[in-house]
Amino acid sequence: MLSRFDLIFILLDESDKDKDLQLARHIGSVHRYKRAANEGGLFNPNFLRAYVSLSKSFNPVISGELHSILISKYIEKRQEQVGVLKEGDKYITTRSLLALIRLCQARV
């Protein structure tokens, strides 16, 4: 059961000698010296701070109509599962409802 996660992404880790060596050296450097060997990463730390700061200014809200639909579907699905769940069945929890609300907010 993975009720603590809203989405699950499968990451494929394909072997590439050059990339594996580069990553291994980076991890070794961070482990040994407590910092990266070269600070030239994908993103500038100042850019990331500004991005996070800007993201905090957004407050997405879903419509009342969508809110009502989500709640009615949640109740409908909860009623469908009463007394019929078997091991391995998927079931709807309050976390499922919260996840759907958050996903709808993210889409706004």
- Report CA-CA distances (Å) from 108 to 8, 48, 76: 21, 23, 24
Answer whether residue 7 is part of any domain.
no
Residue with tokens 């706004």: 108
Look at residue 26 and tell me whether its pLDDT is greater than 90.
no
Look at residue 92 and tell me whether its pLDDT is greater than 90.
no
Q: What's the total number of domains in the chain?
A: 2
Answer whether residue 26 is part of any domain.
yes
Does 31 share its domain with 44?
yes
> What is the phi/psi pair of residue 88, to 5°?
90, -10
Look up the domain containing 41 and give its range. Answer: 17-58
Does 106 share its domain with 64?
yes
pTM over 0.75: no
Answer whether residue 25 is part of any domain.
yes
Q: Return the minimum-mean-pLDDT range out of 8-17, 24-33, 37-46, 73-82.
A: 37-46
Answer whether residue 2 is part of any domain.
no
Between 67 and 43, the more confident residue is 67
Between 70 and 10, the more confident residue is 70
pLDDT 10s digits, 39-64: 666 677 888 899 999 999 988 899 99
